[in-house]
Each structure stands twice: as structure tokens, then as C-alpha cells.
């Protein structure tokens, strides 16, 4: 009988956490994790200098499907689901998105909530704030089963910060 109290507390704590299942329509706001990824880190609202609106449609497309940003820039993405189906916007590298898409096919109800993901119910909008602190070519996609395979993908081109040539000397 001594084990019941810890078990009940553990079950209560587990049910109180907020995680996202792809099929859910409403989610409680989660605490943002500031974890460095190859494509950047979660951004803060006070650092936003530009907003990019992205439309998600049932023809399995993003508009725009190509975004250019500068290294160090913090972007507020406003995702508008123009369709009747649930969609999402997930930032990452192509390899990461490929791997995640394969997992989603195996486990379509997989729960997760990351600051580089926005789950957008039909007719609604969600925001994502991201700091692109690394240059390179990155990707975004809807990883719901069938959406990724249908071509619901896009690109982010992060241009590097211009550096001084080796022949120039910094002014003091």
C-alpha cells in the first residue's frame, strides 16, 4: 500500500505536462526551450525586427515556400491555415525533417512540442519566433503523414554576416 501515493503523484504529474499530439486542435502554451539547433535557437519577442506571414493550404503548399533572412535575425513567423485540414510548420535540416517525417508515418499521434514547430488548426493562425544565428540553407515542412510526401516543404536561406577580409584591420 505504501507504493500507491508515489504512483498516484507520478501519474498526476505526467498527465499535467503539456505535449502536442499532431491531431490535437488546441494546446496550452508551453515554456519555450532555448536549445541551440543547427538552424538556430528559439527567439524572444523583444528581439523581433521582421514578421513573415506564411499561408498553409490544403493543396499541400506553403506561401511563400522560400524565405531569405540574415544571420542573427530574429523572425516572427505568423502561420495562417487557409485550409480545412490540420497543418504544421516545422523548421530543421532536410535530414532532421526526413527522419521526423518517417517517425510520423509510424506514430501519427506522436506527442511533441518544440519552439521550432507550429501546429495550426484549420482556419486559425499560430506564431513562431526564431533566431537564425547560424548561416546556411535550412528547410521547413508540414510533417503530418502524407503532407510532407505531397510536397508541403519550403526553404530558408540564411545569409552569413559579412566579415572583414583578412587584409583589413579593425579600427580601434
| Model pLDDT for residues 49-67, shown as the tens digit of each residue | 999 999 999 999 999 999 9
Neighbouring C-alpha atoms within 13 Å toward the C-beta of 108: 8
Q: Which region among 27-36, 58-67, 77-86, 124-133 has the lowest average model confidence (pLDDT)?
A: 27-36
CATH topology of domain 30-159: Immunoglobulin-like (2.60.40)
Average pLDDT, rounded, for the chain: 82
pLDDT given at position 152: 98
- Section 156-167 average pLDDT: 76
CB 79 within 8 A of CB 120: yes
pLDDT band at 106 (very low <50, low <70, confident <90, very high): confident
pLDDT, residue 115, reads: 94
Cα 135 to Cα 33, 73, 132, 166: the distances in Å are 21, 10, 7, 20
Average pLDDT on 131-156 reads: 96
Amino acid at each position: 500500500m505504501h507504493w500507491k501515493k508515489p504512483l498516484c503523484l507520478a501519474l498526476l504529474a505526467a498527465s499535467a505536462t503539456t505535449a502536442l499530439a499532431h491531431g490535437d486542435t488546441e494546446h496550452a502554451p508551453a515554456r519555450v526551450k532555448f536549445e541551440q539547433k543547427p538552424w538556430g535557437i528559439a527567439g524572444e519577442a523583444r528581439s523581433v525586427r521582421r514578421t513573415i506571414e506564411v499561408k498553409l493550404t490544403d493543396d499541400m503548399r506553403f506561401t511563400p515556400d522560400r524565405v531569405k533572412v540574415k544571420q542573427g535575425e530574429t523572425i516572427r513567423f505568423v502561420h495562417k491555415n487557409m485550409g480545412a485540414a490540420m497543418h504544421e510548420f516545422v523548421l530543421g535540416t532536410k535530414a532532421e525533417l526526413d527522419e521526423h517525417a518517417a517517425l510520423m508515418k509510424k506514430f501519427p499521434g506522436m506527442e511533441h512540442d518544440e519552439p521550432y514547430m507550429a501546429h495550426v488548426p484549420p482556419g486559425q493562425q499560430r506564431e513562431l519566433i526564431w533566431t537564425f544565428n547560424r548561416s546556411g540553407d535550412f528547410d521547413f515542412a508540414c510533417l503530418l503523414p502524407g503532407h510532407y510526401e505531397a510536397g508541403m516543404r519550403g526553404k530558408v536561406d540564411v545569409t552569413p554576416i559579412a566579415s572583414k577580409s583578412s587584409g583589413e584591420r579593425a579600427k580601434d
